[in-house]
């Protein structure tokens, strides 16, 4: 029983806004400094009061939660260009941890200036909203992954998603690129155990779909892996925020 929508818009949104380029000088005006961390160091501590906001400029970080029983669920991998710590601006503290996976450099913003910035540059708010929507789509995807797909498909999907995000940043030029992830990280991201991640990777390698050895990911044929894992080959990938 389909229903007719009351709105049938033919005109597109204001393209200048749709591109959602943040006026960089406005953001950098908020920059309080630059932070460099070594691999493994904490960026954000869960449940700690925090009024800073970061942008990841270089390196990998990961956002995760821990459970009473000691296990860990990785919620997202954070790549250069992504924002870090936005929820804590609204709630005063974060309910998840953020940890540097490689050496990273972060731009540090003063969150208290954010309201003023939004008032002055609505484009920034627009861009933040858009970045949030992108992140939500990734969250939806991962939820579907964990809920409905088998182990090899999960791994294949995750690898493809990372590939695309890296490629959008120019960090995965050819058919292979570096991936600083070990079995345990993949396991905590897709809800499996280390052992079964290893098995899934072995299966993918045996099928010629993907190979992750020595932190080097190779995907000989993207289309094949996408078909196998149900990954939608999208429209041109979108950078999060310029």
67 binds its own copies (CB under 8 A): yes
- CA-CA distance, 114 to 89, in Å (whole number)? 9
Q: Please, what is the minimum distance in Å from the beta carbon of residue 75 to DNA?
A: 17
> Judged by CB, which is closer to its own copies: 5, or 25?
5
Q: Could you give phi then psi for residue 46, rounded to 5 degrees?
A: -65, 140
Q: Please, what is the minimum distance in Å from the beta carbon of residue 187 to DNA?
A: 7
Q: Could you list the residues that contact DNA (CB under 7 A)?
A: 150-151, 182-184, 191-196, 198-199, 201-202, 213-214
Size of the site for its own copies (CB under 8 A): 73
> Judged by CB, which is closer to its own copies: 177, or 230?
230
Name residues contacting its own copies, limited to 144-163 (CB under 8 A): 144, 146-149
Which of DNA, its own copies, none sits in contact with 165, Cβ below 5 to 8 A by type? none
> Judged by CB, which is closer to its own copies: 26, or 143?
143
| Residue 147: other Cβ atoms inside 10 A | 8
- CA-CA distance, 167 to 162, in Å (whole number)? 8
Which of DNA, its own copies, none sits in contact with 143, Cβ below 5 to 8 A by type? its own copies
Q: Could you give phi then psi for residue 140, rounded to 5 degrees?
A: -55, -45
Which of its own copies, DNA, none sits in contact with 223, Cβ below 5 to 8 A by type? none
15 binds its own copies (CB under 8 A): no
89 binds its own copies (CB under 8 A): yes
> Judged by CB, which is closer to DNA: 19, or 196?
196
> Judged by CB, which is closer to its own copies: 81, or 177?
81
Tokens representing 109 are: 């913003």
Q: Could you give phi then psi for residue 71, rounded to 5 degrees?
A: -80, 170
User: 234: phi > 0 → left, psi -120 to 50 → alpha, else beta; which?
Assistant: beta
Per the CB < 8 A criterion, the answer to whether 119 and 16 are in contact is no
Name residues contacting its own copies, limited to 195-234 (CB under 8 A): 230
Per the CB < 8 A criterion, the answer to whether 99 and 64 are in contact is yes
For 87, the enclosing helix (H) or strand (E) is helix 86-91
| Residue 25: other Cβ atoms inside 10 A | 8
Q: What's the distance, CA 61 to chain centroid?
A: 9
Which of its own copies, DNA, none sits in contact with 1, Cβ below 5 to 8 A by type? its own copies
Q: What's the distance, CA 158 to chain centroid?
A: 11
> Judged by CB, which is closer to DNA: 192, or 209?
192
**Quick one: which segment of 22-30, 42-50, 165-173, 207-215 binds its own copies (CB under 8 A)?**
42-50
110 binds its own copies (CB under 8 A): yes
**DSSP-based three-state secondary structure for 97:** strand
**Quick one: which segment of 23-31, 118-126, 158-166, 204-212 binds its own copies (CB under 8 A)?**
118-126
- CA-CA distance, 128 to 19, in Å (whole number)? 12
């Amino acid at each position: 029983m389909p229903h007719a929508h009351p709105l049938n818009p033919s005109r597109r949104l204001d393209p200048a806004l749709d591109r959602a380029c943040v006026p960089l000088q406005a953001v950098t005006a908020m920059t309080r400094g630059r932070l460099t961390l070594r691999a493994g160091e904490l960026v954000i501590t869960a449940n700690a009061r925090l009024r800073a906001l970061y942008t990841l400029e270089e390196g990998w970080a990961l956002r995760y939660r821990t459970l009473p029983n000691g296990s860990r669920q990785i919620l997202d991998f954070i790549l250069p260009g992504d924002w870090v710590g936005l929820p804590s601006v609204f709630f005063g503290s974060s309910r998840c941890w953020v940890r540097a996976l490689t050496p990273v450099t972060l731009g540090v913003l003063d969150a208290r200036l954010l309201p003023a910035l939004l008032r002055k540059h609505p484009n920034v708010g627009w861009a933040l909203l858009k970045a949030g929507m992108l992140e939500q789509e990734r969250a939806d995807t991962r939820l579907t992954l964990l809920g409905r797909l088998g182990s090899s498909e999960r791994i294949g999907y995750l690898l493809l998603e990372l590939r695309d995000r890296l490629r959008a940043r120019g960090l995965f030029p050819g058919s292979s690129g570096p991936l600083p992830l070990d079995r345990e990280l993949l396991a905590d991201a897709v809800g499996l155990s280390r052992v079964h991640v290893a098995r899934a990777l072995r299966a993918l390698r045996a099928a010629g779909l993907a190979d992750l050895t020595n932190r080097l990911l190779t995907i000989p044929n993207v289309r094949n892996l996408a078909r196998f894992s149900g990954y939608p080959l999208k429209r041109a990938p979108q950078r999060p925020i310029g």
